[in-house]
Amino acid sequence: MSQQQLRHDWRREEIEALFALPMNDLLFKAHTLHRQHFNPNEIQVSRLLSIKTGACPEDCKYCPQSARYDTGLEQERLLELEKVLTEARSAKAAGATRFCMGAAWRNPKQRDMPYLTKIVKEVKALGLETCMTLGMLNPQQARELADAGLDYYNHNLDTSPEFYGDIITTRTYQDRLDTLAHVRAAGMKVCSGGIVGMGETVTDRAGLLQQLANMPKHPDSVPINMLVKVAGTPLAQQQDLDPLEFVRTIAVARIIMPLSRVRLSAGREKMTDELQAMCFFAGANSIFYGCKLLTTTNPEENDDMALFRRLGVNPEQGQVALLEDEGVEITSAVKHAQAVADKANSRFYDAGAL
């Protein structure tokens, strides 16, 4: 299947009908498509680092980085370059092939762009794919990041257009779509997905996937996040989503975006091994790897490798799964890099303001 053969005209009722399939039929359909286009026993591995934490002016109800909520999160300025590079080297040593960097901004200021493009160039020089999530971008900023060599830009739609206003009021749905259009126009790959478990309906989950699948080009990467409930945020007491509904979301994403990488993102720490295994069977083939995402926890690297071995799957390019068999603990590389990183913990790039 080529990009030209992919559908970009999915109707909401078609997607809702997929969600309504008996689970066995849905999983069979999703896994069959997944196996046609990907190695079903290979998982792409990414590492995520917060390069600027907290004090975000947005009011996203799920986010502990919003300045509007008291979550106890310590604010940090932009990380100093060597700290970022130390974390990138650690990620590569632990087997990640892509290094993703996030800053808690509504949008980057122009004065920050030279530093951000320098980070991209330096991380790429380590032999890693690069991804950033910095909030909204204008066309010029997208071109600058593309010219620096940024491979992916993440900007999630979060949920359906209809439910969006219940979660965020400080930027519009069209603002998000516009940023993704600027990213595509600049030639970068799009990473865009959403969050489930925020109180949305099945129709909303179908609406989110419809928006993603009907873009001019399907996102290259589709992160599906399970809500991580953080004390102090408005969604802290939200009722848990049925885990099987999460699996259904993964499966439907695989069916309507068969060439995209579907990533298990936030919320994996609370998922059982069995739930993750079902998600991989349903078509998920990417994870964030490491003990922390932007501000929330994530399974340890060795936990992931143990699960991979039990399932008989390997990280993409396969180099990491053999580390422990060769007598090398994954954590040794991480601890060495962390020792260096600890010395840099108090050093930040001063952009003039949080």
Distances (CA, A) of 271 to 174, 222, 241, 244, 276: 32, 19, 12, 11, 7
CB 182 within 8 A of CB 146: no
Active site residue 100: yes
Three-state SS at 336: helix
Length of the chain in terms of residues written: 354
Active site residue 291: no
Which candidate in 77, 98, 131, 254 is catalytic? 131
Which candidate in 63, 176, 248, 261 is catalytic? 63
Which candidate in 100, 176, 254, 268 is catalytic? 100
Active site residue 176: no
Which candidate in 47, 60, 89, 254 is catalytic? 60
Phi/psi of residue 226, nearest 5 degrees? -90, 130
Which candidate in 47, 263, 268, 279 is catalytic? 263
Active site residue 56: yes
Question: How far, in Å, CA of 228 to CA of 230, rounded?
Answer: 6
Closest-CA residue to 199 (of 163, 251, 155) = 163
Which amino acid is it at 215? M
Which candidate in 191, 254, 261, 279 is catalytic? 191
Active site residue 279: no
What DSSP designation does 321 have? T
Closest-CA residue to 200 (of 24, 27, 62, 57) = 62
Active site residue 60: yes
Which candidate in 56, 205, 268, 279 is catalytic? 56
Active site residue 63: yes
Catalytic residues: 56, 60, 63, 100, 131, 191, 263
